[in-house]
Amino acid sequence: MLDPGRNCWRIERAERAAVVVDAADYFKLARKAMLEAKSQILLVGWDFDTRIILDSDAKDGAPIKLGPLLSWLAKHRPHVSINILKWDLGAPKLLGRGTTVLRLIRWAMTRQITFKLDGAHATGASHHQKIVVVDDRLAFCGGIDMTASRWDTRNRILDRSNQEIATVGCE
């Protein structure tokens, strides 16, 4: 199925692997990994919302929201490069997200953070990967974007009768 050079770059064996089911656990683990980054953070996704809360229980003094956390890391860990790749056709959503556009402008002036929009896909297709890689040593890949309405646990029962969309995990 995988053929290096044809449909993948290379094949490597992981020493360990785990399945993370709940978005709440994923966000907490991703935040912890980003805080422990030594050289690089790579975020790839269909969508990002800088306002989402990654870990409301954190007591370490670092921001709990995605955008402020990345800005904090750029300031407090200047040796860590942060690269973000987002699907380009979803970009208009950013305009309706409070101060997100201002944060992107500040990031554009920050050497440590690179934010790019991906338009290299066929007409009608989307960039749909969800990947977080820290220091080329730890990777999360799966089906959860770091955006609103993804923060969930198995203990929370979704009420499908209410058609109103909640922004769970955002303020």
pLDDT digits (tens, 9 = 90+) for 129-155: 789 999 999 999 987 877 776 656 666
pTM over 0.85: no
CATH class, range 23-150: alpha beta
- Rounded Cα gap, residues 7 and 128, in angstroms: 17
With beta carbons less than 8 A apart as the criterion, state whether 103 and 62 touch: no
pLDDT score recorded for residue 66: 93
Q: Please state the domain extents for the chain.
A: 23-150
Which candidate, 33, 10, 39, places its Cα nearest to that of 20?
Answer: 33
pLDDT digits (tens, 9 = 90+) for 72-87: 999 999 999 999 988 7
pLDDT digits (tens, 9 = 90+) for 89-108: 656 666 665 666 777 778 88
- Rounded Cα gap, residues 33 and 55, in angstroms: 12
With beta carbons less than 8 A apart as the criterion, state whether 49 and 170 touch: yes
